[in-house]
Chains A and B, each alone.
Chain A
Amino acid sequence: MKPKLIIIYLLIVVVPLALLGGLSVRMARDEQTMMQQRFRELLTEQLRDIDTTLANLLATRERSLQHALELPDFETARLRELVRANLLIRQFFVLDPKGKRVHPPATGPVTATEQDFLERAGQIWKDQQQFYQTSEGASDHGWYVWFWGNGFNLVYWHRNHAGSIVAAEVDRARLMADIVAALPEAGAVNGRIALADSTGTTIYQWGNYVPGPTEQPQTTLALSAPLNSWRLSYFAATTDFNRHAFWPLLTGIGAVGLALTILAIYFYRENTRELRNAMQRVSFVNQVSHELKTPLTNIRLYAELLENELPKTNRHVSVIVAESQRLSRLIANVLRYARPRTLHKAPGNVDSLLLSVIEDFTPALAAKGITVQFTGNTRTAVKFDADALEQIIGNLLSNAEKYAPGHPIEITTQQTGNTTLITIADHGPGIPPGRCADIFKPFYRLSNQLSDGVTGTGIGLTIARDLARQHGGDLTLLPTVTGATFQLQLPS
């Protein structure tokens, strides 16, 4: 296969399909990204719902704690009794307006749990300023979170009208149980939602999807205060959706490509077959033309010999000679058209070559009542291919013989500057003005009607002009009032 055909195939089939494929994949990927984003937003929405549920839970707890903290006095025994009665509260503490601890009692004996609490909540007493500042809520109440030991601790505090601070530590286990109870049913979740505390440890997870050990969550949401150091993560399966989205698309494009390729191969094969047939026909014509030459040589040779021997009055032989010359020209034209060749130029005299061609033509022209008037004006030798020049002049004279019988032909040569001009003018019907450009086209004939009685192949002028151009010159039709005038230019 020729490289040109491969390039055409690549340009017409492969490149557009590749572009189409690339664009489609890109579009599909964009769409997928968008869908993933929407999917994540949906998941985030779910997490936000959970966050709202938990925030509501804490608000409920806040209300009940607020209620519990409205105490008439801070008697130690009563407070201890309240801690025992309220499951939600793990411990109380009370500071007087001056910041002095009232409960657990600063003086006097404390219980073991109170002692634990004092250790656990030590930093509150150390820096009370920070206690207020880092608390979540208004200036007279709020949540305070701190970390001690193995986990997080949560305190709700309240400042009463006398300026004392009353605070309750929330029971962590109780709170966790409440949170878990508030979370949605496991079956309602397609992925896996994990709740992680401030240290990143997953404290609770649910849902029927099992993520891989290193899998990143689709989306993550921090909970609202006071649990804002906690994170909700949503794991979900989306990867298979990634992998298979392109298959139908690529299969479609591949099918189109395959169809086009099969079509291309089919046309290529058809074309090569036709080309081969045409080549065979051309080679057959060449072969026949070569084979015609041998009998033609003999006819021409013997006719010319006979012509020399017989008296000049015998016109019959000159017809055979003229016709065999015409056949020679036809064969030369066919072969030249089928397989053009390069020229072998040698310096020579244009006039003497013209005279010899005219002499060959004289009997045939005389039979049609055509006389030739030759005016030779060349002074210097010109480089030309004798066979080619003979063929050009022969074709032009042959046209005059066919189309302008009964009129004289004038042939003139002249040299101007670096150009030798050969002008051949007949006084026949000429060429209609609109068709002057067409006469040099191959197989173009002014009239194809059989009744015209004019024969020809329609390649004479084409070949004549090609040969002239191969010489570096040209063959042109000069505008004239009557007849046709051709001018051949040859560079000196």
Chain B
Amino acid sequence: MKVLVAEDDPYTRRGLAEILEAEGYRTITAKDGREAIVLVECEKPDFICLDIMMPGLNGYDVCRAIRKQNPTVPIIFLSAKSEEVDKILGLELGADDFITKPFGVKEVIARIRAVTRRCLASRPPAPVTSFKMGELEIRPDELRAHRGRQVIELSLRDVKILELLHQRAGKVVDRNTFFNECWGLEHIPNSRTLDQHIAQLRKRIELDPQHPALITTVHGLGYRYDSAKCQSNR
């Protein structure tokens, strides 16, 4: 999924892009309103994070311009203006959500996931929507995994990793494949990034993260999902 971040403050822009990329999105950034409109036209992002107070063309005007071209693309407003009228104006212009500054990483992630779920739900249904890994049922369109009554929140990247492992069940998935399939070509992460991500994911989906059953490490090569091993563990 491709996300446009339009924000004039360079640090906030870069920080948001990092969070989004860590979540598994491809990001493009605009430093003002005019650039944002041009990028929406050329790149056709899946959704847009839009700051309100920007030099030149403010977020409201950008939102109006985008809505003329594309009435459905989800827009999240980011703003230091937290007054009721600002929020109402933003939402009336057709924004999907409103995040007020100062925001935390968790809040941004939670709201972006919510918007992504709405995006996925409105798309035409894919042939396979959910799959099982052991007791874990992964629902990609919900960005969630279920184990019995337990619900686990997942990022877009988590879903991609699990899908890849599930497709190649029993086989080793090497680091390059992970990067190509889950990170995208233009992004060149180091090997630590992958290991850290897998460690974080195991914490959430494994019953015992110290002795992982779903994602096993193949030293020197990569990772593997072994459906037979999961069955035997039961």
Task: Name A's B-contacting residues (CB within 8 A).
Answer: 290-291, 293-294, 296-302, 304-305, 308-309, 324-325, 327-328, 331-332, 335, 339, 341-342, 344, 356, 360, 387
Tell me which of B16, B80, B100 has the highest count of chain A C-beta atoms within 10 A of its own C-beta.
Answer: B80
- 8 Å CB contact of B102 from A293, A305, A308, A339: A293
How many angstroms from the CA of A324 to the CA of B103 in the assembled complex?
10
How many angstroms from the CA of A10 to the CA of B102 in the assembled complex?
50
Smallest CB separation, B94 vs chain A (Å): 17
Known: A304-B106, A360-B104. 10 other contacts (CB 8 A): A290-B81, A293-B80, A294-B101, A297-B9, A297-B80, A299-B102, A300-B104, A301-B15, A304-B105, A305-B19
A294 adjacent to B81 (CB under 8 Å): no
Task: Name B's A-contacting residues (CB within 8 A).
Answer: 9, 11-12, 15-16, 18-19, 80-84, 87, 100-106, 196
Tell me which of B15, B16, B82 has the highest count of chain A C-beta atoms within 10 A of its own C-beta.
Answer: B82
Contacts of A341 in B (CB 8 A): 83-84
A342 adjacent to B104 (CB under 8 Å): no
Decide if the interface of chain A is mainly helix, strand, loop or mixed. helix
Contacts of A339 in B (CB 8 A): 83
How many angstroms from the CA of A344 to the CA of B88 in the assembled complex?
11
Given A339-B83, A342-B84: A298 in contact with B104 (beta carbons within 8 A): no
How many angstroms from the CA of A294 to the CA of B9 in the assembled complex?
8
How many angstroms from the CA of A370 to the CA of B80 in the assembled complex?
32
Contacts of B9 in A (CB 8 A): 294, 297-298
- 8 Å CB contact of B104 from A294, A304, A309, A387: A304
B18 adjacent to A296 (CB under 8 Å): no
Smallest CB separation, A337 vs chain B (Å): 13
Tell me which of A297, A304, A342 has the highest count of chain B C-beta atoms within 10 A of its own C-beta.
Answer: A297
- Closest chain A residue to B99, Cβ basis: A297
Contacts of B101 in A (CB 8 A): 293-294, 296-297
Given A290-B80, A339-B83, A341-B84: A302 in contact with B11 (beta carbons within 8 A): yes
- Closest chain B residue to A335, Cβ basis: B82
Contacts of A305 in B (CB 8 A): 15, 18-19, 105
Smallest CB separation, B10 vs chain A (Å): 9
Contacts of B19 in A (CB 8 A): 301, 305
Contacts of A299 in B (CB 8 A): 102
Smallest CB separation, A28 vs chain B (Å): 61
A325 adjacent to B104 (CB under 8 Å): yes
How many angstroms from the CA of A477 to the CA of B15 in the assembled complex?
41
A301 adjacent to B103 (CB under 8 Å): yes
How many angstroms from the CA of A387 to the CA of B103 in the assembled complex?
12
Contacts of B81 in A (CB 8 A): 290
Smallest CB separation, A308 vs chain B (Å): 7
How many angstroms from the CA of A304 to the CA of B105 in the assembled complex?
6
Contacts of A356 in B (CB 8 A): 106
Contacts of B12 in A (CB 8 A): 294, 297-298, 301
Contacts of A304 in B (CB 8 A): 104-106
Contacts of B103 in A (CB 8 A): 297, 300-301
A308 adjacent to B106 (CB under 8 Å): no
Smallest CB separation, B32 vs chain A (Å): 15
- 8 Å CB contact of A301 from B82, B100, B105: B105
Contacts of A387 in B (CB 8 A): 100
Contacts of A327 in B (CB 8 A): 102
Contacts of B82 in A (CB 8 A): 332, 335
- 8 Å CB contact of B15 from A296, A302, A324, A360: A302
B80 adjacent to A308 (CB under 8 Å): no
Smallest CB separation, A260 vs chain B (Å): 42
Smallest CB separation, B90 vs chain A (Å): 13
- Closest chain B residue to A325, Cβ basis: B104
How many angstroms from the CA of A268 to the CA of B65 in the assembled complex?
48
Contacts of A342 in B (CB 8 A): 84
A298 adjacent to B11 (CB under 8 Å): yes
Tell me which of A304, A324, A360 has the highest count of chain B C-beta atoms within 10 A of its own C-beta.
Answer: A304
A308 adjacent to B11 (CB under 8 Å): no
Smallest CB separation, B127 vs chain A (Å): 33
Contacts of A309 in B (CB 8 A): 196
- Closest chain B residue to A290, Cβ basis: B80
A297 adjacent to B83 (CB under 8 Å): no
B102 adjacent to A324 (CB under 8 Å): yes
Tell me which of B15, B18, B196 has the highest count of chain A C-beta atoms within 10 A of its own C-beta.
Answer: B15
